[in-house]
Amino acid sequence: MHKIQLAILDDDYLIVTLLKSFFEQQSNFQVVFDTTDGYELFKFLEDNSHKIDVLILDLKMKTIDGLEVLKHIKPHNYDTKVVVVSSHYQENSIGFMTKEGAAAFLPKSLSPYELANIIELVHKTGFYLDKDQIEILRVQISNKVSKPCYDSDDLLTEREIEIVKLLCHQKTAKEIGEALFITQRTVEGHKNNVFAKIGVRNIAGLIIYALQKHIVTLDELLLNH
């Protein structure tokens, strides 16, 4: 069984130690790196032989801000999903954090078991939003956003729109391929093209785009939770 490769970055040594100990006791996780210093993480990532599936990231740290870490990681480590867990969690920042590339934005008050379940979902689908967060996005996303421009050169194709909808409904590339009778590799290619066209960094950003362009609705997304 493939173990989810984890990295932990938090400037609180106790939190790093406790999280590492917890995840090392779980059969489906492997902690490949842990540190209290973001610059040490950058050095670790410079060695391309190291693969991180999910990074657990603190937001407010002494050496480097979590947002700076996020901005550094996403362009260079595309496949790494970043789960931000912060004592500075604020509901009005959910939209901002997803646009910045966080696959999930969570308060530190959640239990390790909740965190483990969320990480599994992020690893599978690329993002995590609970019902309350989706409702908050309903307020944060303007009702006056423009509809799709049908004569745009960057217009998504019908097949790309199909894939966007399925991604928003938390379907994996394999599941999408089976539903559309195409290969998983073809799905990944379409997904990468969509990301490049609309300028998003991850599935959470794609959801915001899809909501703004009325490709999906919040009510549809809530039915999946």
Q: What is the DSSP string of 107-161?
A: ETTS-HHHHHHHHHHHHHHS----HHHHHHHHHHS-TTPPPP-TT-TTPPPHHHH
**Residue among 46, 72, 41 nearest 56 (CA):** 41
Question: What's the pLDDT tens digit per position in 180-209?
Answer: 999 999 999 999 889 888 887 778 778 888
In a domain, 160, yes or no: yes
Which among 113, 138, 163 is the end of a domain? 138
Q: What is the pLDDT of residue 32?
A: 95
Question: What's the pLDDT tens digit per position in 26-68?
Answer: 999 999 999 999 899 988 888 766 789 999 999 888 888 888 8
Residues 85 and 170 in one domain: no
**Residue among 56, 45, 138, 60 nearest 95 (CA):** 138
Which sign, positive or negative, has the C-alpha torsion 83, 84, 85, 89? Answer: negative
Question: How many CB atoms are located within 10 Å of the residue 130 CB?
Answer: 12
Amino acid at 91: E
For residues 15 and 31, what is the distance between their CA atoms, to the nearest angstrom? 14
CATH of the domain at 130: 3.40.50.2300
Q: For tokens 């920042």, what's the residue?
A: 93
Question: What's the pLDDT tens digit per position in 72-102?
Answer: 887 776 688 999 999 888 887 888 888 788 8
Residues 105 and 196 in one domain: no
> Is the per-residue pLDDT at 108 higher than 50?
yes
With 0.95 as the threshold, say if the pTM is over it.
no
In a domain, 225, yes or no: no
- Lowest mean pLDDT across 51-55, 163-167, 172-176, 217-221: 217-221
Range of the domain at 186: 144-219
pLDDT band at 9 (very low <50, low <70, confident <90, very high): very high
In a domain, 174, yes or no: yes
In a domain, 66, yes or no: yes
Question: What's the pLDDT tens digit per position in 117-156?
Answer: 999 999 988 888 888 888 777 776 654 444 444 444 457 8
